[in-house]
Structure 1
Amino acid sequence: MADEDFDFTDKVPPSLDRAGNSASQGFNPGLIVLIVVFGLVLAFLIGNFVLYTYAQKNLPPRKKKPVSKKKMKRERLKQGVSAPGE
Protein backbone atom coordinates (compact mmCIF):
# COMPACT_ATOMS: atom_id res chain seq x y z
CA MET A 1 0.00 0.00 0.00
CA ALA A 2 1.15 3.48 -0.75
CA ASP A 3 1.27 6.32 1.75
CA GLU A 4 -0.95 8.57 -0.39
CA ASP A 5 -3.94 6.24 0.19
CA PHE A 6 -4.12 7.28 3.87
CA ASP A 7 -3.21 10.95 3.59
CA PHE A 8 -6.17 12.82 5.14
CA THR A 9 -4.33 15.83 6.55
CA ASP A 10 -5.78 18.28 4.04
CA LYS A 11 -9.35 16.92 4.15
CA VAL A 12 -11.88 17.77 6.91
CA PRO A 13 -15.10 15.77 7.31
CA PRO A 14 -18.22 17.83 6.55
CA SER A 15 -19.54 17.40 10.10
CA LEU A 16 -16.45 19.09 11.53
CA ASP A 17 -16.07 21.74 8.85
CA ARG A 18 -16.96 24.98 10.67
CA ALA A 19 -15.80 27.26 7.88
CA GLY A 20 -17.94 25.52 5.28
CA ASN A 21 -21.43 26.40 4.20
CA SER A 22 -23.46 24.73 6.96
CA ALA A 23 -26.47 27.03 6.44
CA SER A 24 -27.40 25.17 3.27
CA GLN A 25 -27.90 21.94 5.24
CA GLY A 26 -31.08 23.25 6.94
CA PHE A 27 -32.07 23.33 10.59
CA ASN A 28 -30.58 21.20 13.31
CA PRO A 29 -33.05 18.32 13.92
CA GLY A 30 -32.36 18.37 17.66
CA LEU A 31 -33.32 22.02 17.81
CA ILE A 32 -36.55 21.36 15.92
CA VAL A 33 -37.51 18.57 18.34
CA LEU A 34 -36.69 20.80 21.31
CA ILE A 35 -38.81 23.65 19.96
CA VAL A 36 -41.76 21.33 19.21
CA VAL A 37 -41.66 19.70 22.66
CA PHE A 38 -41.30 23.05 24.41
CA GLY A 39 -44.17 24.45 22.36
CA LEU A 40 -46.45 21.54 23.25
CA VAL A 41 -45.64 21.84 26.97
CA LEU A 42 -46.23 25.58 26.85
CA ALA A 43 -49.55 25.13 25.02
CA PHE A 44 -50.63 22.52 27.60
CA LEU A 45 -49.83 24.80 30.53
CA ILE A 46 -51.52 27.83 28.98
CA GLY A 47 -54.58 25.74 28.10
CA ASN A 48 -54.83 24.44 31.65
CA PHE A 49 -54.58 27.97 33.05
CA VAL A 50 -57.31 29.23 30.71
CA LEU A 51 -59.62 26.32 31.61
CA TYR A 52 -58.96 26.84 35.32
CA THR A 53 -59.80 30.54 35.20
CA TYR A 54 -62.92 29.83 33.12
CA ALA A 55 -64.07 27.21 35.62
CA GLN A 56 -63.46 29.54 38.55
CA LYS A 57 -65.68 32.19 36.98
CA ASN A 58 -68.49 30.09 35.52
CA LEU A 59 -68.96 26.94 37.57
CA PRO A 60 -71.06 27.02 40.73
CA PRO A 61 -69.30 26.30 44.03
CA ARG A 62 -69.17 22.70 45.17
CA LYS A 63 -71.90 21.42 47.42
CA LYS A 64 -70.67 20.45 50.84
CA LYS A 65 -71.32 16.94 52.05
CA PRO A 66 -74.11 16.77 54.63
CA VAL A 67 -72.80 16.32 58.16
CA SER A 68 -73.90 13.04 59.71
CA LYS A 69 -75.99 13.01 62.86
CA LYS A 70 -73.22 11.19 64.69
CA LYS A 71 -70.72 13.96 63.92
CA MET A 72 -73.20 16.66 64.89
CA LYS A 73 -73.80 14.93 68.21
CA ARG A 74 -70.05 14.66 68.83
CA GLU A 75 -69.52 18.36 68.03
CA ARG A 76 -72.31 19.40 70.40
CA LEU A 77 -70.82 17.31 73.19
CA LYS A 78 -67.44 18.97 72.63
CA GLN A 79 -69.05 22.40 72.94
CA GLY A 80 -70.81 21.41 76.14
CA VAL A 81 -74.35 21.49 74.76
CA SER A 82 -76.27 18.29 75.42
CA ALA A 83 -77.86 16.66 72.44
CA PRO A 84 -81.66 16.56 72.46
CA GLY A 85 -83.19 13.36 73.79
CA GLU A 86 -80.46 12.67 76.30
Structure 2
Amino acid sequence: MVPENTEQQLLVEYEIPEDESVSMAAIHAVSSLMECEPWELIPLYETIDPDMLDELCESRQNGSVKFVYSDFHITVEGGEYLLLRPADHNRK
Protein backbone atom coordinates (compact mmCIF):
# COMPACT_ATOMS: atom_id res chain seq x y z
CA MET A 1 0.00 0.00 0.00
CA VAL A 2 1.18 3.47 -0.84
CA PRO A 3 -0.26 6.32 1.26
CA GLU A 4 -0.27 9.82 -0.11
CA ASN A 5 -0.69 12.50 2.54
CA THR A 6 -1.17 16.11 1.59
CA GLU A 7 -3.17 18.91 3.12
CA GLN A 8 -5.91 18.29 0.58
CA GLN A 9 -6.14 14.49 0.57
CA LEU A 10 -5.39 11.25 2.29
CA LEU A 11 -5.32 8.49 -0.28
CA VAL A 12 -4.04 4.94 -0.06
CA GLU A 13 -3.45 2.78 -3.12
CA TYR A 14 -3.60 -1.01 -2.74
CA GLU A 15 -2.54 -3.25 -5.61
CA ILE A 16 -4.78 -6.31 -5.83
CA PRO A 17 -2.70 -9.50 -6.06
CA GLU A 18 -3.57 -11.73 -9.03
CA ASP A 19 -4.67 -14.57 -6.75
CA GLU A 20 -6.96 -12.37 -4.62
CA SER A 21 -10.55 -11.34 -5.35
CA VAL A 22 -11.54 -7.69 -5.24
CA SER A 23 -13.79 -8.34 -2.25
CA MET A 24 -10.99 -9.99 -0.25
CA ALA A 25 -8.58 -7.23 -1.29
CA ALA A 26 -10.99 -4.63 0.11
CA ILE A 27 -11.18 -6.49 3.42
CA HIS A 28 -7.41 -6.92 3.63
CA ALA A 29 -6.69 -3.29 2.70
CA VAL A 30 -9.14 -1.88 5.24
CA SER A 31 -7.99 -4.20 8.02
CA SER A 32 -4.39 -3.21 7.33
CA LEU A 33 -5.24 0.50 7.50
CA MET A 34 -7.27 0.04 10.68
CA GLU A 35 -4.52 -2.15 12.16
CA CYS A 36 -6.88 -4.99 13.01
CA GLU A 37 -7.60 -8.52 11.86
CA PRO A 38 -10.02 -8.95 8.93
CA TRP A 39 -12.57 -10.79 11.10
CA GLU A 40 -12.74 -7.78 13.42
CA LEU A 41 -14.34 -5.66 10.68
CA ILE A 42 -18.04 -5.59 9.95
CA PRO A 43 -18.79 -8.23 7.30
CA LEU A 44 -18.41 -6.86 3.77
CA TYR A 45 -21.80 -8.32 2.82
CA GLU A 46 -23.46 -5.81 5.17
CA THR A 47 -22.23 -3.09 2.79
CA ILE A 48 -22.10 -4.71 -0.64
CA ASP A 49 -22.60 -8.19 -2.06
CA PRO A 50 -19.04 -9.60 -2.34
CA ASP A 51 -19.90 -11.95 -5.24
CA MET A 52 -21.56 -9.14 -7.19
CA LEU A 53 -18.57 -6.88 -6.53
CA ASP A 54 -16.13 -9.50 -7.83
CA GLU A 55 -18.25 -10.20 -10.92
CA LEU A 56 -18.77 -6.51 -11.66
CA CYS A 57 -15.05 -5.77 -11.39
CA GLU A 58 -14.17 -8.70 -13.66
CA SER A 59 -16.60 -7.49 -16.33
CA ARG A 60 -15.47 -3.83 -16.13
CA GLN A 61 -11.74 -4.18 -16.58
CA ASN A 62 -11.43 -0.59 -17.89
CA GLY A 63 -13.91 1.05 -15.54
CA SER A 64 -14.22 1.78 -11.86
CA VAL A 65 -16.54 0.72 -9.05
CA LYS A 66 -17.08 2.84 -5.94
CA PHE A 67 -18.50 1.92 -2.55
CA VAL A 68 -18.11 2.75 1.14
CA TYR A 69 -16.91 0.08 3.56
CA SER A 70 -15.96 0.38 7.20
CA ASP A 71 -15.47 4.17 7.11
CA PHE A 72 -13.53 4.21 3.80
CA HIS A 73 -14.55 5.34 0.34
CA ILE A 74 -13.16 2.61 -1.91
CA THR A 75 -12.69 2.90 -5.65
CA VAL A 76 -11.75 -0.19 -7.64
CA GLU A 77 -9.77 0.87 -10.71
CA GLY A 78 -9.77 -1.62 -13.57
CA GLY A 79 -9.93 -4.55 -11.17
CA GLU A 80 -6.23 -4.03 -10.41
CA TYR A 81 -6.07 -1.34 -7.71
CA LEU A 82 -8.09 -0.14 -4.77
CA LEU A 83 -7.99 3.54 -3.89
CA LEU A 84 -9.02 4.12 -0.30
CA ARG A 85 -9.94 7.43 1.29
CA PRO A 86 -11.39 7.91 4.80
CA ALA A 87 -15.15 8.44 4.53
CA ASP A 88 -15.08 11.43 6.89
CA HIS A 89 -12.34 13.15 4.89
CA ASN A 90 -13.59 16.25 3.05
CA ARG A 91 -12.19 16.50 -0.44
CA LYS A 92 -11.51 19.93 -1.84
| Structure with the higher strand share, 1 or 2 | 2
TM-score, scaled relative to structure 2: 0.17
If each structure's helix is expressed as a fraction of its own residues, which one has the higher value?
1
Name the structure, 1 or 2, with higher relative contact order (CA <8 Å, separation 6+). 2
TM-score w.r.t. the length of structure 1 is 0.18
